[in-house]
Amino acid sequence: MIMNVIEISGLGKRYGRTWALRECTLAIPAGHVAALVGPNGAGKTTLLNLAVGLAEPSAGAVTVLGGVPPGSPAALDGIAFVAQDTPLYKNLSAADMLHLTRNLCRGFDQPYAEARLAELGIPLKRKAGKLSGGQQAQLALTLALARRPRLLVLDEPVAMLDPVARYDFMATVLTAAADDGVSVLLSSHVLAELERVADYLILLSQGRVQVTGEVDDLLATHRLLTGPAAEVDRYAGRPVVPARRPEAKARLLVRAADGDPVPPGWEAHPVGLEELALAYLREPGAAALPGPSRTRESETTEVPK
């Protein structure tokens, strides 16, 4: 039986009168690189903070690593978290950061950390504040991986990095997942990067879980239809925004199984992760729950050109 690294049920978090998360339920199985996607204010950071024990839920429940409470000793030993602002003591050297982390965390792999920083060309004697943005991100990631976690949680880890630094950072994450069996949950706005690395998707919108499932399953059960805008209503399972010009083509993201017939005059195309995520972000009322029981006309979302 596959363990769930994170499992939440009816989860909600309120700040004053505002709900950052509400009625969220999902289970993320181990062995995935899971992407947490959503617009600003969707509740991504709040969900991550709840999962790592930095916040208490206002409603519902969350467990990690097969049923362990967040923030418990077992959770702290098994989860490594890199926050959005790459938390480092800027006046401490890389060597000092390794020493500090080793004293705080049981099982810290000092030889691994030193070897990895050497491979990256990051001087141990240089202060963290004097490192480039990419080097700071790699140092924070090294500190997390040297703890030998079962779950690595990353909050917008590549938001401030240039394309080369982003690529190198995500390559390290993929290597840890493949070689060391680390499960990964990361939030990001860089959808192109997520399409390259993620095999599991959680999409948040307006504080609620909107889409969740393995990427291959979600892509296999969606396709992009293009056809006459004047005929869009004949296929839509719910109202969609009509095209402005009668001669223009409509683009509909449709939940459909292989072998479902394509309406006359329409063309079907495969859909990518970025296109799928953007379509659902533009239609916060839609829901895409994986499973064969949904009919092909149950979900239809217009995709802008």
Q: Is the pLDDT of residue 264 over 60?
A: yes
- Are 222 and 301 a contacting pair, CB within 8 Å? no
The pLDDT of residue 258 is 59
Note the pLDDT of residue 245.
40
pLDDT at residue 287 tops 60: no
**Same domain assignment for residues 205 and 252:** no
Pair 252, 157 in one domain = no
Mean pLDDT for the chain? Answer: 83
Residue 123 forms part of a structural domain: no
Hey, is 202 helix, strand or coil?
Answer: strand
Nearest to 49, CA basis, from 20, 10, 90: 20
What global pTM score does this model have? 0.84
- Secondary structure of residue 12 in the 3-state scheme: strand
* HSE-up (13 A, CA, CB side) for residue 130: 10
Could you give the CA distance from residue 254 to residue 263 in angstroms, rounded to a whole number?
12
- Establish if 139 belongs to a structural domain: no
Of the three residues 215, 234, 261, the one that is the final residue of a domain is 215
User: Are 164 and 192 within one domain?
Assistant: yes
Poorest-pLDDT segment among 153-157, 190-194, 233-237: 233-237
Residue 89 one-letter amino acid? Y
14 found inside a domain: yes
Average pLDDT value for residue range 45-53? 93
Tell me whether residue 56 is exposed, middle or buried, using C-beta atoms within 10 angstroms of its C-beta: 0 to 12, 13 to 18, 19 or more: exposed
Q: Which of 9-13, 82-86, 236-240, 246-250 has the lowest mean pLDDT?
A: 236-240
- 106-120, 204-218, 235-249, range with the lowest pLDDT: 235-249
- Residue 295 exposed, middle or buried by CB count within 10 Å (0-12, 13-18, 19+): exposed
